[in-house]
């Protein structure tokens, strides 16, 4: 059976690079983003690969997530990458926190990935029943590590990723009996719209490393926080 990846935020940056990586390795890819038709690079890949399908999805719209899950009913998913993310405001200081923006970032970065995991659990179980070991992967960030925080600030984005990491850890325990592995991934500081032009690595470099991590993920690593070079990060 051809393995299937479902990925969110596939229109640009790390999501687009991961989509291309898996297509090149013969996977079927279900690529989701809010406006696929407005993502020229994704559309180019769609013309090149018959194994790529695209779906419009706002990850914070729970009804839309449920509808996509129903549309893909009976489709085994071997790897689900929750990649879509939102940074939120930049440059604010203590005393200037925008709570409405904070709620929006939490909705996209923390709540939506769990809703998606819950909605597509039956599809992952189908893959497990075929003798595969499905993976639920979540693109987190090192700035969500409390032990690594040496600079302060960034309350909104930091807290959303720290909360996401807690979700991943609990899922790893709850899904272990179902044969599903989970992992929180740090992609590195990547040259994307979010990471900016001064970031250290390109999206393809990050995607290549993340795929290697996922290709070699073991049961003992389920529930871990791992960077694109395969190094474990402290919570």
Q: 218 is written with which tokens?
A: 């073991």
d(CA 92, CA 155): 9
Nearest-angstrom CA–CA distance, 86 and 160: 9
Report how far residue 157's alpha carbon sits from residue 160's, in angstroms, rounded to the nearest whole number. 5
Q: Radius of gyration (Cα) for the chain, nearest Å?
A: 17
**Which of 41, 30, 40 has its CA nearest to residue 7?**
30
Q: State the Cα–Cα distance between residues 5 and 22, nearest whole angstrom.
A: 8
d(CA 190, CA 203): 6
Q: Is-contact 36 43, C-beta < 8 A?
A: yes
What structural domains and CATH numbers belong to the chain? Answer: 4-227 (3.40.50.720)
How far CA 21 is from CA of 14, 17, 179, 184, 227, in Å, comes to 10, 6, 25, 19, 17
Terminal CA-CA length for the chain? 36
Contact of 135 with 214, CB cutoff 8 Å: yes
How far is Cα of residue 148 from the mean position of the Cα atoms in its chain?
21
Q: How many CA atoms within 13 Å lie on the side-chain side of 103?
A: 2
In tens digits, what is the pLDDT along the chain, a chain of 235 residues? 899 999 999 999 999 999 999 999 999 999 999 999 999 999 999 999 999 999 999 999 999 999 999 999 999 999 999 999 999 999 999 999 999 999 999 999 999 999 999 999 999 999 999 889 999 999 999 999 999 998 999 999 999 999 999 999 999 999 999 999 999 999 987 876 666 666 678 999 999 999 999 999 999 999 999 999 999 999 9
Enter the tokens of residue 112.
Answer: 């939506």
- Provide the whole-model pTM: 0.96
């Amino acid at each position: 059976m051809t393995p299937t990846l479902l990925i969110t935020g596939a229109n640009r940056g790390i999501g687009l690079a991961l989509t291309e990586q898996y297509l090149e390795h013969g996977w079927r890819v279900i690529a989701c983003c809010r406006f696929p038709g407005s993502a020229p690079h994704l559309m180019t890949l769609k013309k090149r690969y018959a194994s790529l399908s695209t779906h419009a999805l706002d990850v914070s719209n729970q009804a839309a997530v449920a509808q996509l899950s129903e549309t893909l009913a009976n489709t085994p998913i071997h790897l689900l990458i929750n990649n879509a993310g939102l940074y939120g405001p930049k440059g604010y200081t203590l005393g200037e926190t925008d709570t409405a923006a904070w709620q929006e970032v939490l909705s996209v970065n923390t709540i939506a990935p769990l809703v998606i995991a819950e909605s597509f659990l039956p599809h992952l179980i189908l893959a497990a029943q075929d003798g595969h070991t499905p993976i639920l992967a979540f693109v987190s960030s090192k700035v969500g590590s409390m032990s690594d925080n040496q600079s302060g600030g960034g309350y909104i984005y930091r807290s959303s990723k720290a909360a996401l990491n807690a979700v991943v850890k609990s899922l790893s325990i709850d899904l272990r009996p179902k044969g599903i592995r989970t992992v929180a991934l740090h992609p590195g500081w990547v040259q994307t719209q979010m990471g900016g032009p001064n970031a250290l690595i390109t999206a393809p470099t990050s995607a290549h490393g993340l795929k290697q991590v996922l290709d070699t993920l073991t049961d003992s690593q389920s529930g871990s926080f791992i960077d694109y070079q395969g190094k474990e990060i402290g919570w």
